[in-house]
């Protein structure tokens, strides 16, 4: 029998799970049915609190449930590859939190498992599926800015919890993996191209992870990009695409909501700035619907595994540049 509604299971009780509660309960093609923790008591308490039907005291037990079709993997970065592969081998499709993996070998192993078992694996860059991002891509790639010359972006916030896993190098911590991956991914997607050179600077903290990272990249056609990410600066996000005939500013690029505005400035006989309203969706609904399109309709996810591999490769090149002080060719 063909599955028409995807039944989701949460791999852990991570805080970010809450972002998917409303979308999974709003969607007609997705529903939330199970949650797992390393402790049955924790899982059962979580399930009661959030009205989830089934609770499991191990990740393995969730993967063994034949009534679960899709696994959401929000585990710490260093566990993404291991548990995504285990889920795929158990016959599940997987939406895995970003970054998909920490090495190219891990990405390749995930892609190989997905292909061998005929399952969908997608990286959870929610913004990539949102109508605002699709409209930005249409504006830029449709030529309204003329020839693109520069892309700039930023993602910062203050992380002051010394025990946070994002400060643990063994868990894939650091600002670039956690938040710098967003402006990098955004730049690549809006340009529809991959960087050919990368250069980066980082500021490391006591644990050895990067607390701040500043990146520069060169894309084909002499298009340049700059972005920064920082755990020590108050919340600040934006993306800006600069072309020969105009500029587009996106104030809420990474977590857009229902009705967002982007600002298009054009240079004709007279400079003009337009506030363009983009009708959106509740956050994360487009992400779960994209997963349903991929699983039920056979469409490629908005964030393909090849796309995720290219983002990982660029991040690793930036780290190498920061370590060596040299420009890295990709």
State how far the alpha carbon of 164 is from the alpha carbons of 13, 38, 78, 161, 171, in Å.
16, 19, 14, 5, 10
CB within 8 Å of 25: residues ≥ 6 apart: 31, 32
pLDDT at site 1: 39
If one counts every other C-beta atom within 10 angstroms of the C-beta of residue 264, the result is 18
Q: State the pTM of this model.
A: 0.96
Cα-based distances in Å from 168 to 24, 89, 162, 172, 182: 31, 29, 10, 7, 20
Position 209 scores a pLDDT of: 98
CB atoms within 10 A of CB 259: 10
Distance between CA atoms of residues 211 and 107, nearest Å: 25
Write down the pLDDT at residue 284. Answer: 95
The architecture in CATH of the region 6-123 reads 3-Layer(aba) Sandwich (3.40)
Catalytic residue among 51, 86, 98, 272: 98
Residues near 9 by beta carbon (within 8 Å), at least 6 away in sequence:
33, 34, 35, 36, 62, 65, 68, 70, 71, 72, 92
- Rounded CA gap, 91 and 20, in Å? 22
Local mean pLDDT, 10-residue blocks, the chain (330 residues): 83 97 97 98 98 98 98 98 98 98 98 98 97 96 96 97 95 98 98 98 97 98 98 97 97 94 90 93 94 97 98 98 98
Return the pLDDT at 3: 62
Which class is 128-285+312-329 in CATH? Answer: alpha beta
- 238/311 Cα distance (integer angstroms): 19
Secondary element (H or E) of residue 292: helix 285-297
Active site residue 206: no
User: Residue 250 in 3-state DSSP?
Assistant: strand
Separation CA 72–CA 70 (nearest Å): 7
Q: Where are the domains of the chain?
A: 6-123, 128-285+312-329
């Amino acid at each position: 029998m063909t599955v028409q509604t995807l039944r989701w299971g949460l791999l852990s009780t991570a805080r970010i799970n809450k972002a998917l509660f409303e979308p999974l309960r709003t969607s007609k093609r997705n529903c939330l049915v199970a949650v797992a923790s390393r402790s049955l008591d924790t899982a059962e308490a979580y399930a009661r609190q959030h009205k989830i039907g089934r609770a499991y005291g191990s990740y393995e037990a969730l993967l063994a449930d034949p009534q679960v079709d899709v696994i959401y993997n929000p585990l710490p970065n260093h566990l993404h590859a291991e548990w995504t592969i285990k889920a795929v081998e158990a016959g599940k499709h997987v939406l895995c939190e970003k970054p998909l993996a920490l090495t190219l070998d891990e990405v390749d192993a995930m892609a190989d498992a997905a292909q061998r078992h005929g399952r969908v694996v997608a990286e959870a860059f929610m913004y990539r599926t949102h109508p605002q991002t699709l409209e930005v891509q249409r504006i830029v790639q449709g030529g309204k800015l003329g020839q693109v010359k520069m892309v700039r972006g930023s993602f910062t916030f203050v992380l002051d919890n010394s025990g946070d896993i994002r400060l643990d190098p063994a868990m894939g911590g650091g600002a670039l993996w956690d938040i710098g991956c967003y402006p990098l991914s955004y730049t690549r997607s809006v340009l529809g191209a991959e960087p050919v050179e990368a250069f980066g600077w980082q500021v490391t903290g006591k644990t050895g992870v990067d607390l701040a990272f500043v990146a520069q990249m060169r894309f084909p056609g002499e298009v340049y990009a700059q972005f920064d990410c920082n755990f020590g600066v108050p919340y600040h996000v934006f993306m800006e695409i600069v072309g020969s005939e105009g500029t587009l500013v996106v104030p809420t690029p990474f977590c857009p909501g229902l009705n967002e505005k982007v600002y298009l400035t054009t240079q004709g006989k007279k400079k003009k700035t337009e506030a363009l309203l983009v009708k959106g969706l509740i956050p994360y609904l487009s992400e779960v619907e994209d997963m349903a399109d991929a699983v039920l309709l056979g469409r490629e996810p908005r964030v393909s595994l090849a796309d995720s591999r290219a983002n990982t490769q660029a991040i690793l090149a930036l780290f190498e540049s920061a370590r060596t002080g040299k420009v890295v060719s990709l």
